[in-house]
Structure 1
């Protein structure tokens, strides 16, 4: 039973690994929601605790800082896109990258890091390392030329991503993400 502002009752004892993963995801979901609504600097651990319905101790069991929480959300997106980086075709990888990086969550995090980069420059630098650099590295696993991998990444985002950042277009459907990926690959002569 939960009272106003209280943490919901959970089973006693040490959580299982699956419960820890679920709780971590709940913390990330709550934090992303709050970051998007209030900006990176406008969110406290108390805000996250309240939104996620966990204790501060639970949050600190997973994350030491807000930056760690933000970057864990970026990492979670990357893990979804690069779930099996050495497996599958370049077309499948490119399509997953488009689908993830054009998603509402990724767009919101991208906007947030741009808005916060001046005040929190280390956040912007780490976002770039954990985000774009890792996607480019994964693409390098499929193409021999590092510059070609970077060009492909740029084309996978390009103007459609800019329009998403500006709120001018909706999230692409699976078919639209695949079409954008295939067009980028064709433009560079990659099959």
Structure 2
């Protein structure tokens, strides 16, 4: 759907998402979002009580599509559960090779709001990361990797989020592939311990 045909609220969130992801939430003003969305500042504030609410809506919009993408990459990768999880990392590395890639919007936002743990966007970020962890737990549980399924899910999240940070720092997506290999090894090892 063309941006001008989107409902006003969705158009504002879409404009905010582009700006927040490319420039950071603190660097982008409400005026810039309104301008990009093609609305007045008053209209923006009609739909969002504050910039904080807009930031939360931006992350909320990313939640389900991001997890759906991980699930798709997982299901499209051939092999066992270890291969499929590694496939998620390799697909992320492919995304990280795109010039407009700026890392994980949830982690970048949490870094900008680190001194505000009660911020609505922080709560959405925590919930998103928990959903990803719970999905991985379910994957590992279904693969018969109990009692290590929860630990494997946490280890995989740590590798995932750590790779986001290191790739942003070095601008080298191969770190994400290396993290995928580490996840693959951990999952295989857990399978051997059964």
Alignment TM-score > 0.5, same fold: yes
Partners of 1:38 and 1:169 lie apart in 2 by: 17
- Cα drift, residue 56 of structure 1: 4.2
1:75 maps to which residue? 60
Partners of 1:94 and 1:28 lie apart in 2 by: 32
Partners of 1:185 and 1:38 lie apart in 2 by: 34
Partners of 1:93 and 1:78 lie apart in 2 by: 19
Q: Does the residue aligned with 2:33 lie in a helix, a strand or coil?
A: helix
Change (3 A) 1:47 1:81: closer
Change (3 A) 1:70 1:164: farther
Residue ranges of structure 2 left out of the alignment (5+ in a row): 142-148
1:36-185 to structure 2, matched below 5 A, reads 39-41=24-26, 43-56=28-41, 59-60=44-45, 63-83=48-68, 85=71, 88=75, 90=81, 91-92=83-84, 95-96=87-88, 99=92, 103=96, 104-107=101-104, 110-118=107-115, 120-123=116-119, 125-144=122-141, 145-158=149-162, 160-166=163-169, 168-171=170-173, 180-181=179-180, 183-185=182-184
1:3 maps to which residue? none
Q: What RMSD over aligned residues (CA atoms) do the two structures have, in Å?
A: 3.9
Output one character per residue of 1:145-178: Cα deviation in whole Å (capped at 9) or x when no partner.
22221112112333x3232232x12456xxx867
1:6 maps to which residue? none
- Cα drift, residue 44 of structure 1: 4.0
Residue ranges of structure 1 left out of the alignment (5+ in a row): 1-9
- Cα drift, residue 122 of structure 1: 1.9
- Cα drift, residue 115 of structure 1: 2.6
- Cα drift, residue 65 of structure 1: 3.2
Contact 2:110 2:125 in 1 (8 A): no
1:5 maps to which residue? none
1:20 maps to which residue? 7
